[in-house]
Chains A and B, each alone.
Chain A
């Protein structure tokens, strides 16, 4: 039982490049979330999904897109990376309860 996994662990992008972060969970959770963590700001919700094929915006969705084609996967896309998107990205999943299970994070640097 791997829990929540994230790919890749680290990435460096140049401004304007695109990339996709992959989150996978093997707990059959309905809900999945993408957060970003910045110093002094805690975690902020980017997008979330309440089930396969559904997505919704969180607090800071601009510049990101997501897809949930399969229940176990939640993809976060950056179409044109900007230095302001330098951050640590965490995926989380849950049942229909507030408790979240977090992945190990992806550290992204945009130069």
Chain B
């Protein structure tokens, strides 16, 4: 079956630091990959996505590249802000199945 493994948190950073959250997956076929973000007290929002190998998703300064050879979809941001403090979830979906499989989530706290 499908599964997603994320680096464990929590992660605490200073403003303007570089952020990486590792995500690897196991899936049959060619899944679509996603990063969702959950700000405190809110539901999940789609941050970025990639639907095929070597695609790069990007949004709000965050980037992730779909690496089929390493089955990875690591999230990066070059300079974080306090407003980036949130829980980040990596997720995948089979092309023929619209259910999402989520990683455990990584809590990121950015200090001023």
Taking Cβ atoms with an 8 Å cutoff, the residues of A that contact B are 4, 31, 33, 40-45, 48, 58, 90, 92, 94, 96-100, 102-105
Contacts and interface: CB of A to CB of B under 8 A. Distances in A.
A57 to B, nearest CB: 11
Interface stretch (B13-21, B58-66, B68-76, B95-103): B95-103
B43 A4 contact: yes
Contacts, number: 49
A40 B102 CA distance: 11
Interface residues of B, number: 20
A56 to B, nearest CB: 9
Contact of B43 (A42, A94, A99, A105): A105
Interface of B: 4, 32, 34, 36, 41-46, 49, 89, 93, 98-100, 102-105
A96 B98 contact: yes
Nearest to A48: B99
Contacts of A58: 99
A33 B43 contact: no
B34 A98 contact: yes
